[in-house]
Every structure is written in structure tokens, then in C-alpha cells.
Structure 1
């Protein structure tokens, strides 16, 4: 008998909803409490990751909290900590605590638990619409002049192409490629596939945005240092063999996505090597060779600036930068604009980013 990875038997996919809505669907667990929920469907364990895709925990915690808040309140910030790696082979329980209900602001905490232990925790703040008054201070970072992605040709694919994962991405070039790591910017267009249903309303768009924010995020640290996430084909194969419950991607999509990732990294390295003297470069590579030994997120913050003024199923531009790395950690900042130029969110993430060492590091998380 196959092992059940959800608390209840998952229902059939709802064809009237976008794929992201099905992926993030929650089921109330009324036998435990009025504000307890569980994942309706299996969660994705990305290749090479220690546990489930963090964006799923972020998004489902947000979705659970929003179910306890009046419709005229919208989330404006959530501060998250990844405590333990989530196991995709057992259900998750999301426990919502109603910390405070004020006239203008509402506070919630959510703990995601497995085997009775917290694997993820977040505190969220919601604000009531139109409570800022007629006189307001306003400013926002302008969206860079990046053209919208062209429709793909039949022979072309993007990350998580047709079928497979619930969102797609079109990669833009690295800005300030030859500058110092802290001066580089990495831009991508992202959007959910299909059309988010009217029934899902803005809550579905917010959950989808939260899901997407964790994609490519902490990996920015290695990208600005020109260090591949996977250093060999054998390492990719080991990541594939360790994969559990790829509910968001089928095998063909996983292989295609990893192949594209490898090609992107190879192209970056090729550009870096062009024009250099081969002997000097070979010597430098031997002396300065770096490989990622461990990369895992520690915390994640999202500030939602305009929660009612975007659609997650339309193109959104993300720009990521890493202002600091050290002590085995790295920090990444992310801005997200709607396609009309509205700044809809700012995110931060810190994670463990350790290189493979000649001698093992004794400290453990």
C-alpha cells in the first residue's frame, strides 16, 4: 500500500482554477481546532534541497492566516523563519494564532508543524483598506525599462514550461555583470500559468505571489559570485535520485528545468572566460576554485506594498541583489513590480551559503 502524504485523500484537480490554486489548496482540520489547516495535495521537494520548496510553506501559511481575517483587510508584511526541513512524505498542519484584532491592523502568527514540531513559523500583519487618510506620503522605486517577454516559439521553452510547475519564468541578463558581487542585479519576469479564478479572488493572487518569491532567491548569492549551484552532471543526477513527491513537476519537466539551469550556468562561465589568457585563467581557477557545499534559507520577509493592484497570472518583474555575504551566510533583496510599473512587494532573505572546504566545518545548524 502506498504511503499517504496528505492527511486526507486529495480531491480531483479543479479545472476551473489555475494550477497554482490547486497546488496551494488547504483543508480545514476541524477535529483539532477552528484555525488549523493542512495541505490538500502533496508538496514539491526540489532537486538538491533539504526539504519541501519553501515557497509552499510561505504561501500556505499566508493562505491559512487570510482565512481568519475580514475581507477588507490585506496583508502588508510577513516575517518568516525556516526552522526545520519539511518532509514531503508526511502532511503539514498549519496552526493559526489570532494575536490581535485592531480597528486598523490585525496580527496573526502561523506555525507549520510536522510530527508535532514546528518546521516553519511566521508572523503576519494585516491593514485595513483606505485608512491612510486623504493626505499621504508616497514614493516608490521605479521599474527598470525591461521589455516584456516575447511569446515563446514552438521550439523554445522556459523554466517550468507548458505543463509541469505552476508558474513560468523568463530570464533577463545579469546587470553589472563585470562589477563586484554587491553591485550586480539579476532580473526575471515571472507569472503563474493559466488564469487565477474569480472564486480565488485577490487572496489567490497574494498566495501565488508569496509562493513565487522564494524561487531563485538565496541562489542569487552564488550567482553574483559566478559559482554554479550544481558543479557536475553527477551532482545533478544525485539531486534527481533524492527527489521526493514531485507533485508540481513531472520527470520530463524536472530534467528539462535542470538542463536549462546547467546551460545558463555554463553560459555565464563561458562569458567570464572569454578573452582571458588560458594558462593564467586555468591557474587562477585551480587556486580560486569554489563549489557550493550547502545552501539553505534561514528567514524570509515580504512587504506587500500594493496587495490589491496586481495579478499574479500576469507578468511581474523581479530584481534581486546581494548586498552582503560572510560568516557562512548571505543576504538577498528582491523588488517585484507589476507589468504596469507598480511596485507590489519588497522581499529579503538570509540563508546559509557555505563553500566546500578542504577541512570539514564542525559547527552545525
Structure 2
């Protein structure tokens, strides 16, 4: 049973992402206990549930314990164990501090009594910064707007998934220096988030989407082969198996129009389609294991955006080594407002040469 309580009928006014992230408060047990209302999503090839679910639902649970004039400004998360999509999650909110200007909450996500995810969040009272303020922001780069009806084949390649995205060509993709490259995309929640959800629903939706393609940035800037490992249970891939099937079914001209497929990937997919070793004669490095370790979000303008309108996301990685990698992410509203900055560290282990001989 993937939910503790039978899910109620979905509210017609809810968007897909609202329904997906809906929580049930277990008030008869403890007002600070919550559980997932809807079944959990396990991406094909992933170790467990989509990490964005835990990030967003812990935020949603904490927001239920905060006064309406307080807003999240930062959250720091750790992925402890892979979540099982067949088991309900219990979210326990601890009210660490409730001050005049700031409030602190910790939330633990548990399955069968074991912590699978933990986060600490800080909330700030609106307009508590004073009349005179120190202000600056990194501007959004100039680029072409998103094109309606040309979304990536993401979220299982489904046209009914909770969010849409359009990946853009990697900036400086031909550079030999991975740290100079930037992966970019447009993203938004599918449909319209209901008025009843308030700004909290938009924040939860942003938190959910912030985990999309995040640590996979490292594989993309290093041009690592990231498709053949999809069926391994310990791999968090930047592309799922259903998408790979669609890519294999495309002709070469159609593949060239898919913005997240670079020339190296194109050649490998062509070989895979022909039943050949996708590596050819190349000494191709392949992802052996890629999972998120931690995730931080700093919310800069939490009430000045809508998650169901196009947002621009830009990611770069300053460092990778010792089997780990770090990625920075900036999220902008369509009008150029910097909404959030995110940081994620993940395990990024290559398939070792001797593994292929086992």
C-alpha cells in the first residue's frame, strides 16, 4: 500500500503537481505528523522515489506549522536512504524555534521507522528587513523565450507529467573545461496551480522541480555515457528509459533537433540503434553510480513568482572529485527575477574498467 489512507478524489481545481504533493495531516495521532496523500513516483532506473518529492513534501509539511506572514528562505536537506514507492512516508515536523522574525523547523521523512530524508528549514517574517536594505542580484542572461508545444520528453516521456521543461544547448559545450559550461532549461508546472494552494503551493512545486536533472549536470558537462546504466538499481540517470526508447525510434534529423542530445550522444545512440556497442572504438567513460547526497535551496523572492509560469534554470559545476561532484543552480522567473539558488552534492562514480570483466 503506497498511501496510509485511501486517497480521496482529486480536487478539479488542483494542478497535477498539487495533487502529486498533497499531504494528509494525521491530527488524531499528532498535529505535527503528515503523510503522502497520493502514490509516490519511482523514476525508471532510479534507486528509489524521485528526490524532489521528499524535498517538496517536507517543505509542505513545515509550511503547515508556520504563521501565514512567514515565508521559507532556506532549507538544507540530506538524502539518507532510498525511498520505497510502495510504502507510505510519515513526515514528522519538529518546531525548533518560533521567534519574532525567524522560525526554524526540522522535518524527518520516515518509512518503517527509519529516516530516509531529513531537512532543516528557516522561515522569515515578511518585510522584516527594514526600509533601507542592501540589495543586488545576478541578472538573468538574455536568451530566446520558451516555445509552447516543444517540451522535452521528460518525466517518463509523458504529456501528463506534473511539470514541463525545455532544455537549451549547453553554454560553452565545446570547451575542454567542464567548469566553464552551463546547462540551461525552461521549466514550469503543468496546468494552473489553484488559488487555494496559495504561495505555499508554488514554493512546494519549485522545490519539487529543483531536483530535476540536477546532479546529472556533471555527466552532461563531462559528456559521460549515461544511457546503458539505466537498468541498474543504483543509478540516478539524467534521462529515463522511456525517453531512451523514444530517442532510439527517431531518425537522425529528428535526433539533431533534440537539444539535450549532443554530437557524442548522437553517435552512440546511432550505434545502439544498430545493435552495436555504443562506445565504438572510443574510450568512453560510463556512469556507474550517480545519486544525490544533499540539497540546499535559498529562496530569494518567494512570493514574486508563479511555478506554473515559465522559469529559467541555469546550472554549473565548480568541482568534481573523489567520487563526488557539486552543482550550483539559479532559478529565475520569466521577467528576470532571481527566485532561488540551489546547491547539490552527489555521488558520481564511474564504471571501473575491471567491472566489465566480472
Q: Report TM bin, short chain.
A: 0.7 to 0.9
The answer to whether structure 1 residue 177 and structure 2 residue 163 are counterparts is no
- CA deviation vs aligned residue, 1:66-112 (integer Å, no higher than 9, x gap): 00000000000000000000000000000000000010000000000
Structure 2 match to 1:159: 154
- 1:159–1:170 CA contact under 8 A, matched in 2: no
- Cα distance in 2 for residues equivalent to 1:53 and 1:60: 12
- 2:44–2:241 CA contact under 8 A, matched in 1: no
For this pair of structures, how many residues does the alignment match?
A: 329
The answer to whether structure 1 residue 352 and structure 2 residue 347 are counterparts is yes
**Structure 1 pair 259–272 and aligned structure 2 pair: CA distance change class (3 A):** closer
Root mean square deviation, CA, Å: 2.3
**Structure 1 pair 157–295 and aligned structure 2 pair: CA distance change class (3 A):** closer
- CA deviation vs aligned residue, 1:128-172 (integer Å, no higher than 9, x gap): 01011111000001001122112227xx76434674310000111
Return the offset for 1:272.
8.9
- Cα distance in 2 for residues equivalent to 1:120 and 1:227: 28
- Cα distance in 1 for residues equivalent to 2:207 and 2:145: 22
Q: Secondary structure at the match of 1:288?
A: coil
**Structure 1 pair 162–227 and aligned structure 2 pair: CA distance change class (3 A):** closer
The answer to whether structure 1 residue 190 and structure 2 residue 176 are counterparts is no
- CA deviation vs aligned residue, 1:23-60 (integer Å, no higher than 9, x gap): 00000112331100000011111111100000000000
- Cα distance in 1 for residues equivalent to 2:203 and 2:222: 32
Q: Secondary structure at the match of 2:174?
A: coil
- 2:297–2:341 CA contact under 8 A, matched in 1: yes
Return the offset for 1:286.
4.8
Pick aligned residue for 1:329 from 324, 327, 333: 324
Pick aligned residue for 2:207 from 184, 205, 210: 210
- Cα distance in 2 for residues equivalent to 1:266 and 1:131: 46
Pick aligned residue for 2:243 from 254, 257, 272: 257
What are the ranges of 5 or more consecutive residues in structure 2 without an aligned counterpart?
234-239, 249-254, 269-276
- 2:71–2:125 CA contact under 8 A, matched in 1: yes
- 1:107–1:124 CA contact under 8 A, matched in 2: yes
- Cα distance in 2 for residues equivalent to 1:297 and 1:15: 34
Pick aligned residue for 1:16 from 8, 13, 16: 13
Structure 2 match to 1:34: 31
**TM-score of the aligned structures, taking structure 1 as reference length:** 0.85
Q: Secondary structure at the match of 1:199?
A: helix
Pick aligned residue for 1:76 from 73, 90, 93: 73
